[in-house]
């Protein structure tokens, strides 16, 4: 099984790299991407998750902070490490009042298999027509999403965009950043962007 996984990662990486190079050469990527920043309303979306459910961002407004970790391609080395890191960080992410998702432009079936292969318990969203990815400005010249993570407050606004993701520690990095953002909100006397689950139960 481990050998098959390694072979699949290698084959997917070669295919994705080739596709990206072709897209760059032919100008198929996004030439004028949307430029979102902290304070902007997070674009709404309705996307299928790897768990078979559909998720609409607006349904979570007023209830939970949201983290969306866009990644380039399922079954590639960096994306595998990133999603594994989020999946193995449940102990530190669980106590936070936050919904977190992976997201890519892979098909729902691909992401379902990807999530199953990693044994993760959070949804990976699929955006194969790139509508949401374009709205978030993550599609680059290669035609694949950039590895960016969006932190979205309970009122539906972007709090921060992490464009320097460390794939091997992303889960604990997300938990640490959420805790910092919550503390910052409390220090400024405003409603915190995130909270402990016990605070809102």
42, 79, 125, 178: the active-site residue? 79
Q: What is the bridge-based pairing of β-strands 65-70 and 54-56?
A: unpaired
> Which tokens is 161 given?
């965009």
83 is catalytic: no
Which residue bears the tokens 């689950």?
197
Distance CA 77, CA 176 (A): 24
Closest CA to 76 of 127, 162, 13: 13
Q: What angle do CA 87, 92, 98 make, to 5 degrees?
A: 80
Kindly list the catalytic residues: 79
């Amino acid at each position: 099984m481990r050998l098959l996984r390694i072979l699949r990662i290698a084959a997917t990486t070669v295919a994705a790299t080739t596709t990206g190079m072709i897209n760059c050469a032919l100008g198929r990527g996004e030439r004028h991407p949307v430029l979102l920043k902290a304070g902007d309303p997070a674009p709404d979306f309705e996307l299928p998750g790897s768990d078979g459910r559909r998720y609409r961002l607006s349904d979570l407004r007023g209830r939970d902070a949201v983290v969306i970790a866009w990644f380039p391609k399922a079954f590639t080395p960096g994306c595998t490490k990133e999603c594994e890191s989020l999946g193995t960080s449940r102990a530190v992410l669980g106590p936070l009042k936050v919904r977190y998702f992976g997201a890519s432009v892979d098909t729902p079936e691909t992401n379902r298999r990807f999530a199953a292969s990693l044994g993760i318990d959070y949804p990976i969203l699929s955006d194969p027509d790139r509508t949401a990815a374009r709205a978030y400005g993550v599609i680059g010249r290669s035609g694949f999403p950039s590895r960016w993570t969006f932190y979205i407050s309970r009122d539906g606004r972007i709090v921060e965009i992490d464009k320097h993701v460390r794939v091997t520690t992303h889960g604990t990095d997300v938990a640490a950043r959420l805790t910092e953002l919550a503390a910052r909100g409390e220090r400024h006397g405003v409603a915190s962007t995130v909270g402990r689950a016990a605070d809102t139960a």
